Amino acid sequence: MDERRRSPRFKVISDVNGRMKSTMKVRIVDLSLHGMLVESPSGLPPNGTFEITVLAPSGEKKLRTEVRWCRAQMVQGDGGTKILYHAGLEFPDAGEDGLDITELISETCTVDGPMKHGGAEVEDEAPESGTEGTDSKGFKFAM
């Protein structure tokens, strides 16, 4: 698998949440120096620009992001089936905000290295059509 990432991703070790559009709560799944994967209750328009306020252990951090992709997923939980959205966000000002992002990674992510899958880093992609699995909260999903 060819690696297209500029920097490795790190899995968030606990529930780290943020807000987009000032009211929409999102859950941060993973982070890198150049972007993040978030789970949200609503879809985000590709190429849209949003400020995300991350509720980190050390306090709120505001980061400007651009949506690169967004995909819906059907998930099965205790309350039944629902739709959640996974979105890949890029930090367009990564060079300027690098210090904040590095601090955010160090306080919220695993320290045992970048995420791996079968010896290669995992892609920021939703499962391919026709696949099924579980998300980080144990919800089952099928595409």
Encode pLDDT of 43-93 as tens digits. Answer: 999 998 999 999 888 888 889 999 999 999 998 888 899 999 999 999 988
Tokens of 91: 């930090």
Q: Is residue 27 within a helix (H) or strand (E), and if so which, with residue range?
A: strand 24-31
Beta bridge partners of 132: 142
Q: What is the pTM of this model?
A: 0.70
Question: Phi/psi of residue 131, each to 5°?
Answer: -100, 165
Is 132 a domain residue?
Answer: no
Query: pLDDT above 70 covers what percent of the chain?
Result: 69
Is 138 a domain residue?
Answer: no
Average pLDDT across the chain, whole number: 76
Is 142 a domain residue?
Answer: no
Is 5 a domain residue?
Answer: no
Is 43 a domain residue?
Answer: yes
Is 104 a domain residue?
Answer: yes
The domain in which residue 22 lies consists of 10-71+85-123
Structural domain count, the chain: 1
Is 143 a domain residue?
Answer: no
**Residue with the two structure tokens 């849209």:** 48
**Domain containing residue 97: CATH number:** 2.40.10.220
Is 136 a domain residue?
Answer: no
